[in-house]
Chain A
């Protein structure tokens, strides 16, 4: 079965540093998403991306966050100046046309901000 790949699996950073989380969605998919899950809490929507632009974003996705699809395969989430409360598991997901097509998730990047 096709996979969404995320790297790195773990990222440790100092508060105030920039981090880039990387994702390779499934190759023929069109919709891309970032979610995060703080330990023990719900899976929270951050942003969706379609046709090379953000289609929707949540309140969490403030000016510190940005997404990019720099080439035909990668989809990145950048946090400009990390805060302690950004520590979470970040999941990338992708789907084809939607509407009954599976939302495929990557295995996540555990971000720890010290």
Chain B
């Protein structure tokens, strides 16, 4: 399977930008997803990027992909308290498998 690594914790002040980073190992990953998990809840798809793109913007979310370094990041602009959650990076392999990172717990301080 694919190894997906993320920092475990991130704290930001409300209104600041958050940047959550992810590294992966499978260079054949086709699509790369970001999922959000609020406490006690399931996994909610936030956004994704195709592997031939460098950047994708979706309202407050910006995804950056460095395919050479196998590095993915999620930037949340104007972070709100409602953004507090665990964020999972999930590359999709060419074999249509999805592997999840360790998750980054984002805490937004009012």
Contact = CB atoms under 8 A, between A and B. Distances in A.
B100 A42 contact: yes
B35 to A, nearest CB: 8
A105 B101 contact: no
Interface in B6-44: 30-31, 33, 35, 41-44
Contacts of A106: 42
Interface of A is mostly: strand
B40 to A, nearest CB: 9
Contacts of B101: 42
Interface in B29-69: 30-31, 33, 35, 41-45, 48, 50
A107 B42 contact: yes
A58 B31 CA distance: 21
B88 A100 contact: no
A108 B41 CA distance: 8
Nearest to B103: A42
A65 interface: no
B98 A45 contact: yes
B107 interface: no
B43 A91 contact: yes
A4 to B, nearest CB: 9
Nearest to A42: B102
A48 interface: yes
B42 A91 contact: yes
A33 interface: yes
Given A100-B48, A107-B41, A45 B31 contact: no
A29 B101 CA distance: 24
A93 B99 CA distance: 13
Interface of A: 31, 33, 35, 42-45, 48, 50, 55-56, 58, 91, 93, 95, 98-100, 102-108
Interface of B: 1, 30-31, 33, 35, 41-45, 48, 50, 88, 90, 92, 95-103
27 contacts: A35-B100, A42-B88, A42-B100, A42-B101, A42-B102, A42-B103, A43-B43, A45-B100, A48-B96, A48-B97, A58-B1, A91-B42, A91-B43, A93-B43, A99-B31, A99-B92, A100-B30, A100-B31, A100-B50, A102-B48, A103-B45, A103-B90, A104-B45, A105-B35, A105-B44, A107-B41, A108-B42
